[in-house]
Amino acid sequence: MNVMAKAKKKISSAFIYFFGSFGGILFGYDIGVMTGALPFLQADWHLENEASLVGWITSAVMFGAIFGGALAGQLSDKFGRRKMILMSAIVFMIFSVLSGVSPDMGEASAYYLIIVRMFLGLAVGAASALVPAYMSEMAPAKARGRLSGLNQTMIVSGMLLSYVVDFLLKDLPGEWAWRLMLGLAAVPALILFLGVLRLPESPRFLLRKGDEAQARKVLSYIRKNPAEIDQELASIKETAKEEQQANQKTSWSTLFSSKYRYLVIAGVGVAAFQQFQGANAIFYYIPLIVQKATGQAASSNLMWPIVQGIILVIGSLVYMWIADKFNRRTLLMVGGAVMGLSFILPAVINWMMPNMNPMTIVVFLCIYVAFYSFTWAPLTWVLVGEIFPLAIRGRASGLASSFNWIGSWLVGLIFPIMTACMPQEAVFAIFGIICILGVIFVKTCVPETRGHTLEEIEEQGTNRGRVKATNPEN
């Protein structure tokens, strides 16, 4: 027993934060891997003129993730964040392998792959909901933005990893190339599973289940000051007690009670806008975008995803540097405004100068990715992890994740159809308008959360709810 206890005490905070956020690697790898696999898959299965089928194959993961996020949110409230992350890793391993061994049965092959990738999406959606919740509950308030930003760094590192793998495998025979690209996703899933086996459960979840001794032990891994541990335990217990008294049983209707509605709308709204702004249209289809702009074969444009991936990783590191120096709202509004202009200006320039260099749109897309990478990309998950009160965090995080994936799924599904029907510049201009609407939403509907404890953020929502109940016209 003493040996076991000593072994557990050796778990460092760096290990906890690294593997606590490692689920983002799975998320990112699967976002990026189809970017390189798709041109080879299209050629192998003769799908070049099947825009709808291509859209479904690409977006099937996001469709499954809609349900995975909501399901994992509920189950994590019952079984814990750690156990559900382990389960997600297992599901991810199984269906990554099944994607890589898709049978060649003509048109039926496409439907098989769509179904398998939907199940894979359950694990991806679960990771997108569980990792931010786990990281926010482990991180101290003063460093929560930076540490929660590790999730985004992991996501974009997973994307860059998939782009590099795609590039390295591109010279294999077409059938082997895309199969290995998809199947190798099982490797990071295995690493995640082995790492999370040693992770502790969230102290907030442990306290909610009445295990104060274990919650204190977990906090001792990640807090240096005993007084800070006592203060945080007391704060968590007080909030949990108030929630138990107010809501003996939390239901979906609880999320939209006057007490929580303001925070739920803010968190879910930001999660939805992040995807409807069109970022994943770039990440899923950049080789096809360059092909349409230049006429070069998509399979020869696999260096562009790596460029985008490098920009994303640098941006995530920039975010970790500035995360707790600027207000969340400020970064979101500045980023959203530049992103919107980056999408709208190519359409304006093309209208004024019809002979515009076709690569101009790609340059503007790089500007979009740069600002997205250190504003909306990481801050969405930071907000989702920190804005929801304890009593509804699992359900609300799952709901936000599901809305995020609904946007991702729709963008992945309809982008190839839209670009088949209208100029690319016009498609991106539509996304640019959505970016501007996102800025307006943040300015009017999202509270500032930087530097506040989770309990203080909850109090903001409670006070706003009281004001609304007293003055409905406000």
CATH code of the domain containing 42: 1.20.1250.20
pLDDT score, position 273: 95
167 within domain boundaries: yes
Q: What is the mean pLDDT of residues 140-149?
A: 64
Q: Are the CB atoms for 72 and 121 separated by under 8 Å?
A: no
Residue 355, pLDDT above cutoff 50: yes
What tokens appear for 151 in the block?
């999730």
Mean local confidence (pLDDT), 116-124: 92
- Describe the chain by its helix, strand, coil percentages, rounded to 5: 80, 0, 20
Look up the domain containing 255 and give its range: 16-470
Q: Is residue 6 part of a domain?
A: no
Residue 454 lies in a domain: yes
**Nearest CA among 380, 388, 400, 387 for reference residue 66:** 400
Confidence of residue 297 (pLDDT cuts 50, 70, 90): low
Q: Which residues contact 343 (CB under 8 A, 6 or more apart)?
A: 278, 364, 368, 428, 429, 431, 432, 435
Considering the chain, what is the average pLDDT of its residues? Answer: 83
| The pLDDT of residue 99 is above 90 | yes
Q: What is the DSSP string of 323-344?
A: TTTS-HHHHHHHHHHHHHHHHH
Q: Which residues contact 457 (CB under 8 A, 6 or more apart)?
A: 263, 386, 387, 389, 447, 449
Q: Is residue 10 part of a domain?
A: no
Percent of the chain with pLDDT strictly greater than 90: 27
Q: What pLDDT, in 10s, does the model give residues 402-431?
A: 788 889 899 999 998 898 888 888 999 999
Residues making up the chain, counted from first to last? 474
- Looking at the 3D structure of the chain, how many domains does it have? 1
| Residue 80 domain-assigned (yes or no) | yes
Q: Are 125 and 67 in contact (CB under 8 A)?
A: yes
Q: Is the pLDDT of residue 116 over 90?
A: yes
The DSSP-derived string for 15-71 is: HHHHHHHTHHHHHHHHHHHHHHHHHHHHHHHT-TT-HHHHHHHHHHHHHHHHHHHHH
- The lowest-confidence range among 220-234, 350-364, 459-473 is 459-473
In a domain, 44, yes or no: yes
Residue 370 lies in a domain: yes
- Report the b/e string of 158-170 with b at 16+ CB within 10 A: bbbbbbbbbeebb
For residue 232, tell me if it sits in a domain.
yes
How many Cβ atoms are within 10 Å of 176's Cβ, its own excluded?
13
